[in-house]
Amino acid sequence: KKYLYDTGKASGEHAGTVLYSRGMYAGMLAAEGIKTAQKMTGKSNITAGDLRDGFEALEMTEEKMASIGMPNFGPSFKVSCESHGGPMVTAIQQWDAKNKTWSLITPFSPGDMDVINRLIEEDSAAYAAENNLSERCG
């Protein structure tokens, strides 16, 4: 708001919409992945491999999200080489047309990880076999 809307560089008409919020969240995660990679490598000009490593070491806590201006925006999570999917949780939001806002109406809840992990492992193994890739995690 301070750097875009208040300076006239953007209208803000889409702020708060689902697609806008998804874009903001994706941009924040990209920036945090880059910052993590830069911190890990000690260099500002990172490589694609450095960025991958930064994303695989990314940890987003509520405290961190609040410190960058996105409190209660998403669940806390930690990524690893073995798990790129984050916390694998979902929640339901509801649109308030009068106030033009989305509200979280359920807590974040996990999916059926027995089913989901089996599907991920099967698909990953098939993709690796089809593309002659070797496992680099674990």
pLDDT digits (tens, 9 = 90+) for 9-28: 888 888 878 888 889 999 99
Give every CB contact of residue 32 below 8 A, 6+ residues apart in sequence: 58, 60, 64, 68
Three-state DSSP state, 106: coil
34: tokens are: 């880059």
Annotated domain spans of the chain: 18-110
47: tokens are: 């490589």
* Residues 112-129 pLDDT 10s: 889 988 998 899 899 999
Share of the chain above pLDDT 90, in %: 46
51 and 37 Cβ atoms separated by less than 8 Å: yes
- With 0.75 as the threshold, say if the pTM is over it: no
